[in-house]
């Protein structure tokens, strides 16, 4: 029976509206509920994919207009719905959407007659991220409806049949949890005699449950494959300002570009702030990159008197689809004591030359003051000062003592062997040291009075 026939019968007070296929609606409702119940385990166990949430609850409301010949019979009405968004996390941006909605139309020839459609169905939606706060989406779906026609609250007919629908819209992400939507929808209430197609303009609100990636600081787009921090030496803390202390290997395991990757390293108490490393502007899908790590220590590292394992916090900050994420991992490394050094590079001894240290400064200035009136004019003044300090060290009682555990002749041949070097203040205090200790002290004293020094190492061959 068509709405034109229904209108004629209303005027004749002869309503013969027939119930059709009412059992099918119950079957579709049962199937939709069963699908949702089977989906619940996936809510807990599914892997991380976009969008980040697993479940959201929303409501739609809008203005619905009949199309075709029914526009001559029915007035425009309202369309409201309640829906769930379930993310099965099988395909990025793919959402399943169980929905219950209502549409109501009144007859143009008799506004006391209301035709109400109650529908239950399942939609499939695909989101298209455009900006961090803006997404497009396309939705198709179907299900079963129950149509009830009343006049003055008295039922005069009913029917049930399938329906199909399609939606095109835009999401505005107000926050990571709350979204507003504007969309246009086509609905066709199918029937064997005459379907009822309609067009609706809809606004919706949607709340996403759970913690967002920003709240969790978690994302699966990148994988930290390996972090390596080399054994470090307290005395060389200035050296590490420019020289990498280790490396980090990062892979993009997603199908999206990862941008603006920033690394930083922090060691609690021994760094004033995290030390940044080189920024990687773009890492494409499937790409891997190795990045040098830098570490800027404060002077507290010079208080480390024993070889000690330390823990460094490595932080990786990056952008995916304009969302900001941070991953952190901890790595253990060995920090050698303040007197440790290897001879892989002779320049490292410069870390033990301390011309501004007070004990050395007092010693050097006292010697120069003592001989200031005994200068020989024909002799280079810097050479005279160097001779004076050298003699003063002998008078002071400084004695050469070879270190039995770390002799220079042995350790200078092994580039990775750990040598023990005294600071000038320690050599002055102990009044003993081996060749590298004496060199560090003598260079510090000369540098303090303005005499530039250079270090040359050579192998002594005994005949």
Q: Give the pLDDT score at 28.
A: 43
Average pLDDT over residues 201-218: 81
Average pLDDT over residues 201-229: 84
pLDDT per position as a tens digit, 75-108: 999 999 999 999 988 888 899 999 999 999 999 9
The answer for residues whose C-beta is within 8 angstroms of residue 36's C-beta and 6 or more apart is 84, 86, 98
Q: Residue 143 in 3-state DSSP?
A: strand
Average pLDDT over residues 217-222: 73
Q: Tally Cβ neighbours within 10 Å of residue 278.
A: 12
The answer for residues whose C-beta is within 8 angstroms of residue 7's C-beta and 6 or more apart is 73, 107, 109, 110, 113
Q: Give the pLDDT score at 417.
A: 82
Q: At residue 360, does pLDDT exceed 50?
A: yes
Q: How far is CA 9 from CA 6, 28, 110, 213, 399, in A?
A: 5, 31, 11, 59, 124
Range among 341-350, 399-408, 423-432 rated most confident:
423-432
**Distance, CA of 345 to CA of 123 (rounded, Å):** 68
Upstream peptide bond of 18 is cis (omega within 30 degrees of 0): no
**Distance, CA of 237 to CA of 294 (rounded, Å):** 11
Average pLDDT over residues 256-285: 94
Strand (E) or helix (H) holding 215: helix 213-216
Q: At residue 377, does pLDDT exceed 70?
A: yes
Q: How far is CA 458 from CA 222, 414, 455, in A?
A: 50, 14, 10
Q: Give the pLDDT score at 414.
A: 65
Q: Give the pLDDT score at 405.
A: 63
Average pLDDT over residues 144-148: 95
Angle ∠(25,183,197) on CA atoms, nearest 5: 45
Locate the domains of the chain by residue range: 3-214, 217-336, 343-448
pLDDT per position as a tens digit, 104-124: 999 999 999 999 999 999 999
pTM more than 0.75: no
**Distance, CA of 356 to CA of 447 (rounded, Å):** 9
**In whole numbers, what is the pLDDT of the chain averaged over residues?**
85
Q: Which CATH superfamily is domain 217-336 in?
A: Immunoglobulins (2.60.40.10)
Q: Tally Cβ neighbours within 10 Å of residue 434.
A: 21
Beta bridge partners of 19: none
Q: Give the pLDDT score at 43.
A: 39
Residue 388's pLDDT band (boundaries 50, 70, 90)?
very high
Architecture label for domain 3-214: Beta Barrel (2.40)
CA 67 to chain centre: 49
pLDDT per position as a tens digit, 12-64: 433 333 334 444 444 544 554 555 455 444 434 434 456 778 899 999 999 99
**Distance, CA of 286 to CA of 376 (rounded, Å):** 74
Strand (E) or helix (H) holding 392: helix 381-396
CA 78 to chain centre: 44
For residues 19 and 150, which has the higher predicted lDDT (pLDDT)? Answer: 150
Q: Give the pLDDT score at 409.
A: 58
Q: Which of 16-30, 203-217, 391-405 has the lowest mean pLDDT?
A: 16-30
Q: Residue 111 in 3-state DSSP?
A: coil
Q: How far is CA 300 from CA 223, 264, 304, in A?
A: 33, 20, 8
Establish whether domains 3-214 and 217-336 are of one fold: no
């Amino acid at each position: 029976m068509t709405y034109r026939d229904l209108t004629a019968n209303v005027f004749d007070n002869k309503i013969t509206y027939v119930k059709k296929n009412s059992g099918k609606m119950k079957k579709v409702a049962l199937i939709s509920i069963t699908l949702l119940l089977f989906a619940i385990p996936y809510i807990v166990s599914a892997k991380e994919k976009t969008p980040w949430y697993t479940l959201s609850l929303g409501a739609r409301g809008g203005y619905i207009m009949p199309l075709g010949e029914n526009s001559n019979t029915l007035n425009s009405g309202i369309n409201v719905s309640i829906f769930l968004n379930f993310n099965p996390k099988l395909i990025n941006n793919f959402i399943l959407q169980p929905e219950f909605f209502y549409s109501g139309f009144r007859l143009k020839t008799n506004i006391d007659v209301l035709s109400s459609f109650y529908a239950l169905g399942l939609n499939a939606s695909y989101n298209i991220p455009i900006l961090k706060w803006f997404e497009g989406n396309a939705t198709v779906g179907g299900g079963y409806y129950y149509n009830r026609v009343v006049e003055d609250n008295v039922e005069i007919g009913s029917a049930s049949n399938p329906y199909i629908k399609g939606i095109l819209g835009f999401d505005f992400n107000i926050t990571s949890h709350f979204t507003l939507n504007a969309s246009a929808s086509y609905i066709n209430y199918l029937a064997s005699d005459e379907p009822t197609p309609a067009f609706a303009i809809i606004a919706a609100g949607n709340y996403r449950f759970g913690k967002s990636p920003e709240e969790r600081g978690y994302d699966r787009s990148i994988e930290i494959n390996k972090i390596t921090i080399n054994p470090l030496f307290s005395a060389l803390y200035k050296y590490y300002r420019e020289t990498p202390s280790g490396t980090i290997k990062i892979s993009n395991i997603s199908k999206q570009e990862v941008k603006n990757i920033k690394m930083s390293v922090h060691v609690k108490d021994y760094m004033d702030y995290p030390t940044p490393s080189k920024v990687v502007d773009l890492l494409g899908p499937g790409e891997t990159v190795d990045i040098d790590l830098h570490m800027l220590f404060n002077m507290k590292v010079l208080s480390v008197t024993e070889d000690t394992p330390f823990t460094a916090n490595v932080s990786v900050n990056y952008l995916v689809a304009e969302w900001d994420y941070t991953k952190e991992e901890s790595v253990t490394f060995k920090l050698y004591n303040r007197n440790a050094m290897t001879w892989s590079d002779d320049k490292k001894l410069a870390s033990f030359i301390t011309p501004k240290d007070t004990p050395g400064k007092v010693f050097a200035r006292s010697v120069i003051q003592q001989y200031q009136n005994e200068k020989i004019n024909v002799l280079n003044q810097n050479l005279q000062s160097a001779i004076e300090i050298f003699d003063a060290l002998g008078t002071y009682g400084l004695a050469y003592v070879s270190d039995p555990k770390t002799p220079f002749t042995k350790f200078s041949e092994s580039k990775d062997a750990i040598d023990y070097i005294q600071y000038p203040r320690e050599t002055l205090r102990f009044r003993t040291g081996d060749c590298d200790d004496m060199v560090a002290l003598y260079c510090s004293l000369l540098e303090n009075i303005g005499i530039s020094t250079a270090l040359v190492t050579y192998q002594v061959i005994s005949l």
